[in-house]
Structure 1
Amino acid sequence: MTLPTVLVADDDRSIRTVLTQALGRSGYQVRTTGNAATLWRWVEDGEGDLVITDVVMPDENGLDLIPRIKRIRPELRIVVMSAQSTLMTAVKAAQRGAFEYLPKPFDLKELLSVVGRALAAPQPPSVDTSLPPDSDERMPLIGRSGAMQDIYRIIARLTTADLTVMISGESGTGKELVARALHDYGRRRGGPFVAINMAAIPRELIESELFGHERGAFTGATNRNQGRFEQAAGGTLFLDEIGDMPPEAQTRLLRVLQEGEFTTVGGRQPIKANVRIIAATHRDLRQLIRTGAFREDLFYRLNVVPIRLPPLRERAEDIATLARHFLDKVQQSGLPAKSLSDEAIERLQSHRWPGNVRELENLMRRLAALYPQEVISGDVISIELEENSMHNDPAVTSNEQEKLASAVERHIRQYLAASHDGMPMRDIYDRVIAEVERPLIQMTLASTKGNQIKAAAMLGLNRNTLRKKIRDLEIPVVRGIG
C-alpha cells in the first residue's frame, strides 16, 4: 500500500524540519521546499496527495497559488499556514479553496488532525473565487490571540453558507462587527445588511418593525410600511439583543424560521422571507429559557452556528494591537498622533475592561483629545482608568442604581406579559430571585477563585447554604474572572 505524500512549502527551514519529522512519524511520505515554484512543479507533475503551504514565500504568495492548483487538480486538498493571523487571511484561504487555515505558531497535534481529515474528506465542491474582492483589506476584527483565530476560522468557513448564526458575548465585545463580517464576506454581500436592536424598540412596535404593517392596521398607521424583513431581502437581517424580544414576537419569528414566509401586521398575503438571520445577545439565553422568558424551540432555530466572543480580559495579548489601531483611527480623524509607553501597555493589559473593546476605544479617543504629550505614560493610564472606574462604580452612583432597578422592573414586566399572553407562568417570585442569585453567586465565586468558604463569608451565607444554592442553581465552579 502506497503511503500518502504530503507536499510542504515554507521558507522557514525549522518549520520544514519539524513537519518532516512529525508527518513521517505519522506514516506519511513528505517532500519539502522553500519556494512556490518547486511546489508548483510537483503539483503539475501529479505528485502529492495533500499540500501544506505558507502564505509569504520569496517568489510567490501562497494564497495566489491556490487557484492555479485548483484549476489543474481540483481534488488536491490544501492546508494554509500563516503568521499573518488576520481575518482576511482566513477568509481568502477559504474563498480560494483551502481545506483549512492554521495560524502560526500552530499546534502539531491539531495540524496532524487536519491532515488526517483532509486526506479522508470527500471531493470538495467547486469554489467561487470571486468571494470577496481581493482589494478589500479592511480590518473589521483585530487580534492574534487563539480565541480570535478560532473566530476568524469560523467566519471563513461560513463564507459559502447561509446558516443562521447566534453570536453571544458581553456588551462591547464586537458582536455587530462579527455579524457585518459574516455578511460582507458571505454569499449575500451584494444585498443589504439590516440591523435591529430588540432592546431599543418599544415592545408594542416590535412586530411592526420586523414585519411591516398595512395602512389602517392600527391607530396611526396611515401608510403601508416595510418591516426589516422586507428591507433586508436578498441580504442579512441582524437581530441584536435577541434576548429582549417579547414573547409574542418570538412566536412570530419562530413561524418565519419554520415556514420561510411572513405576513405584515394587518396583512393577509404571505411574503417570502429571503434573508439570512444572524442573532446576538449578551444575556444567558439558556437561563431565560429556564425562567420561561425565551422560547426553547426558537433558541435551537437560531443557535445553528454559535459564536462566542471572548471578553477583552480573556485576550489581553490583543490589547496593545487594538490600542494602537484605535490611536491610528483618531489620528486619521484629525487628532494628534499618540503612542503608548511599555508601562502604559502593561497597565492596559492588567485592567479588567468591563466595557470590553468599546471601553478601550473610548479611552484611546479621550487620551488623544485631552493629553498634550506624544507618548502616553503608565501613570496617565492609571489615572484615567481609576477615575473612570469611580464614575462607573454602582456602589457610589445613584444613577446606576436607578438603571439596575429599571432593568429589573422591565424584566419582571416580561414575565407578567408572558403570563397574560398565553405562556403560563408560575412562581414568578422564585424565578426572579433565582435569576439574580445565579450571577451574584457566580461572580462572587469567580472573585474568590472558587473558594467557597471565602465566597460564603462575602455573601453572608452559611457554607452549607451556599453549597445547596450552587447545586440547585446548577452553577459551575469557576477559577477566576480575569
Structure 2
Amino acid sequence: MSRVLIVDDEASICWAFGEYLGDLGHDVAVASSAEEGLDAARSGPFDAVVLDVRLPGMDGLTAMPAFRERIGDAPIIVITAFGSLDTAVRAMEAGAFDYLVKPFDLDEAGAVVRRALESAEPGRKGRAKDDEGPARTGLVGSSPPMQALFKQIALVAPTDVPVLITGESGTGKELVARAIHQNGPRGARTFLPVCLAALSPGLVEGELFGHVRGSFTGASQDRKGLLELAAGGTVLLDEIGDVPLGMQVKLLRAIEHREVTPVGDARPRGIDVRFLAATNRPLHRLMADNQFREDLYFRLSVFPIHIPPLRDRPEDIPELARHFIALADPSRGRAADLRPDTLAELRRRPWTGNVRELRNAIERAVILARGCPILPEHLPPAAASLAPESAGVDGLDPAIARWTEAALAALPDPDAEGADSLYDRFLAQVEPPMLRAVLRRESGNKALAAQRIGIHRGTLRQKLRRYGME
C-alpha cells in the first residue's frame, strides 16, 4: 500500500480521485491548498503527490520546490484545468513526473499514479522560467490534442536528441521546433531554420557543410556552412523529405557523428548543434519508393512529434481566432470582437490550410471590420476555404469527383495489395496527365509549372523522372 497526497481546491476532485485510489488499495490524504498540503507532507512521508496548479494562496508550481524538500524524490503529478505549453514546460522542469489536464479520465489518471509509484527515477530538477505563454511560442490551444503536444514538447525540450516533426502544411511545424529550442538548454543560442526544398540539389552540400577556397569556380575564399554557423544552437531541417538522395548519407553522418566535411576539403570539422527536422510528406512512402533512406529516417525520428490538423481540434478555433485578432490589432483583441454567428461560421469551415489559413482569414477580417465587431461577411468567401457546402460529391468539385471515380474504376482489383499500393497506383493514373497539362500551359517552363501546382521545382523534377517524362 502506498501513501498518496492529493492537493486540490475542488472538493469533488479530491473525493472522486481519492475514492478511486482508495479502491486500488492506496492510503490517500487530501488538502485544499498548497500550504495545507505542505503541512501534511511535513507530518509524514508520502510516496506520491497529485498537485493542482491553481490553488488559493500559493500556486502549485511555486510550491513544488517546497514539496520537493519535504517528500524527497517522491514523484509529483501536476494537474490543471488551464493547460498551456508554458505550464507544461515549467511543471516538467520543476521535476513533475507527469502532467494531466482537467477533466481527466480516472482510469488514465490512476495509470499515471501507478507508473509514478513504480518508477525509481528521481524527480528531475530544472530551472524556473518566466511566464512566456503563446505570445512567445505562438502555440495556442486547450484541446486534448494540443495538451498532448505541449507535454511532448516539455518532455523532449531539455534533451539533445533529434526530433522529427510531421504534420500537414500550415499546422505550425516551425513553431513547434522553435518551442523545443526556446525551452531547451540551447534556448539562448541560434535557432536556424533551413528550408531544404528551397536549395537546388547542386547547392545543398555547400550551403549546409561549407566549402574551401578553390573547390569550384568562383570559390574565392573559405566559407562556413550553415551547420557550423549555428554553433551551440539548433538547426531545423525543414522539408526534409525533399533532400536529394545523394545528400542523405552525408547528412546522416553529420547528425550521427556531429561533424561535416566542407566541399573541397578532406578534413572533417566538428559541429555542436541540435538537429530538428520537419516535413509534410509521407516519409514511409518515400522509403518504400527508395527515395528516402531508412537509416536517416530512424536517426531523425528518435522522438517523433505529429501536429494534429485544425479539423481534429475545432474547439481551439475560437481561442486561435482571438489570438490572431490580438496580433493583428492589439488595441481590440477582445472576446466581443467575435459574434456568435461569426464563431459558428469559423467552426463550420474545414480549414484545409490549417492554422495558417485561419490566421490569414482573421487578418483580412480585422482590416475589413475597421474597428467594429467581426461579422461572417468579413471572412473570405467560403469557396476560398473549400467549404463543404460549395463543393461537390465527397467534398470535391463535381468535375474532379467524376475524374477521380473514373481513375479508380480504371484500376485493377488490388487483391492482396495494401492500401498504399492502391494509393500509389491511383497517383500513377492521375499525376502524369495533370503534369503534362500544366507543363503545356506553362510552355514547358518547369519553374512556373511547379509554382502553379504548389510544389518545389525539385519535387517536380523527381515526379517527371519517376514517370519517365523528363
Specify whether residues 77 and 475 from structure 1 end up closer, same or farther in structure 2 by C-alpha distance, changes over 3 A only.
Answer: farther
Partner of 1:216: 214
Match in the other structure for 1:46:
44
Which residue of the partner structure matches residue 311 of structure 2? 313
1:136 aligns to what?
Answer: 132
Of residues 392, 406, 420, the one that matches 1:473 is 420
Matches within 5 A, 1:393-432: none
- CA deviation vs aligned residue, 1:7-28 (integer Å, no higher than 9, x gap): 0011111111111111111111
The amino acid that maps onto 1:182 is I
Instruction: Tell me how far apart the structure 2 counterparts of residues 165 and 470 of structure 1 sit (CA, whole Å).
Output: 32
Question: Among 195, 198, 205, which residue is 2:196 paired with?
Answer: 198
Post-superposition offset of 1:270: 1.8
TM-fit CA distance, 1:317: 0.6
Aligned to 2:93: 95
SS of match in other structure, 1:376: coil
Partner residue in 2 for 1:384:
381
Q: TM-score, normalised by structure 2?
A: 0.82
Q: How do residues 39-118 of structure 1 correspond to structure 2 at under 5 angstroms? A: 39-118=37-116
Aligned equivalents of 1:335, 1:190: Cα separation in 2: 30
State how far apart, in whole Å, the 1-side matches of 2:183 and 2:159 are.
11
Aligned residue in 2 for 1:11: 9
1:80-103: CA deviation from partner (whole Å, max 9, x where unpaired) = 000111111100100100100101
Task: Between 293-302 and 332-341, report the one with greater CA deviation.
Answer: 332-341
Change (3 A) 1:225 1:350: same
Please give the residue correspondences for 1:19-418 in structure 2 after superposition, counting only pairs within 5 Å.
Answer: 19-124=17-122, 126-130=124-128, 133-139=129-135, 140=137, 141-332=139-330, 339-372=337-370, 374-381=372-379, 384-387=381-384, 389=386
Q: Deviations over 1:276-299 (max 9, x none)?
A: 110000000011111111111111
- SS at 2:6's partner residue? strand
Alignment CA distance shift 1:333-1:226 (3 Å): farther
Alignment deviations for residues 243-280 of structure 1 (CA, whole Å, 9 cap, x no partner) = 00011221101112232212111122221121111000
Q: Is the 8 A contact 2:93 2:124 kept in 1?
A: no
**Contact 1:173–1:309 under 8 Å retained in 2:** yes
Post-superposition offset of 1:209: 1.0
Cα distance in 2 between the residues matched to 1:213 and 1:457 = 48
1:335·1:368 contact (CA, 8 Å) conserved in 2?
Answer: no
Residue 327 of structure 1, CA deviation: 0.4
1:178-218: CA deviations, max 9, x gaps?
Answer: 00000000121122111100111111111111111111111
Q: What is the letter of the counterpart of residue 181 of structure 2?
A: H
Q: 1:387 to 1:125 in 2, by over 3 A?
A: closer
Separation (CA, whole Å) in 2 of partners of 1:282 and 1:102: 29
Aligned in 2, Cα 1:326/1:74: closer, same or farther, shift over 3 Å? same
Identical-residue share of aligned pairs (%): 38
Shift of residue 386 of structure 1? 2.7
CA distance in 1, matches of 2:52, 2:374: 37
Contact 1:166-1:278 at 8 Å conserved across structures: yes
Distance 1:337 1:368 in 2: 13
Q: What is the TM-score with the length of structure 1 in the denominator?
A: 0.80
Q: 1:320 to 1:120 in 2, by over 3 A?
A: same
- Rounded to whole Å, the distance in 2 between the matches of 1:340 and 1:7 is 42
State the shift of 1:463 in Å: 9.3
User: 1:435 maps to what in 2?
Assistant: none
Q: Which amino acid aligns with 2:412?
A: T
Q: 1:112 to 1:291 in 2, by over 3 A?
A: same
Cα pair distance change 1:459/1:259, threshold 3 Å = same
Q: Which sits farther off after the overlay, 329-338 or 116-125?
A: 329-338
User: Which stretch has the larger CA shift, 152-161 or 133-142?
Assistant: 133-142
Q: Residue 405 of structure 2 corresponds to which residue in structure 1?
A: 458
Q: Determine the structure 1 residue equivalent to 2:466.
A: none
Determine if contact 1:80/1:98 at 8 Å carries over to the other structure. Answer: yes
Equivalents in 2 of 1:125, 1:51: separation in Å?
Answer: 12
Residue 45 of structure 1 and its aligned partner are, at CA, apart by 2.5
Letter aligned with residue 191 of structure 1: R
Paired residue type of 1:327: I
Q: Cα–Cα, structure 1 residues 373 and 331, in superposed 2: closer, same or farther, change >3 Å?
A: closer
- Consecutive unaligned residues in structure 1, runs of 5 or more: 396-443, 449-453, 477-482
Do the aligned partners of 2:364 and 2:378 also contact (CA within 8 Å) in 1?
no
Read off the aligned partner of 2:299 and give its amino acid letter. Answer: R
User: For the residues of structure 2 that align with 1:108 and 1:201, how far apart are their CA atoms?
Assistant: 50
Aligned residues of 2:84 and 2:133 also touching (Cα < 8 A): no
RMSD across aligned positions (CA): 2.8
Unaligned runs of 5+ in 2: 424-470
Aligned mates of 2:40, 2:164 — CA distance in 1: 43
How far apart in 2 are the matches of 1:472 and 1:75? 49
Query: 1:45 is aligned with what amino acid?
Result: S
- State the distance in 2 between where 1:335 and 1:23 align: 44
Aligned amino acid, residue 313 of structure 1: R
* One-letter code aligned to 2:92: A
Is the contact made by 2:75 and 2:117 (CA closer than 8 Å) also made in structure 1? yes
The residue type paired with residue 385 of structure 1 is A
Contact 2:84 2:142 in 1 (8 A): yes
What secondary structure does 1:172 align onto?
coil
**Deviation by residue 1:37-64 (Cα, 9 ceiling, x = unmatched):** 1110122233321100110111110001
Q: What amino acid is aligned across from residue 348 of structure 2 in structure 1?
A: S
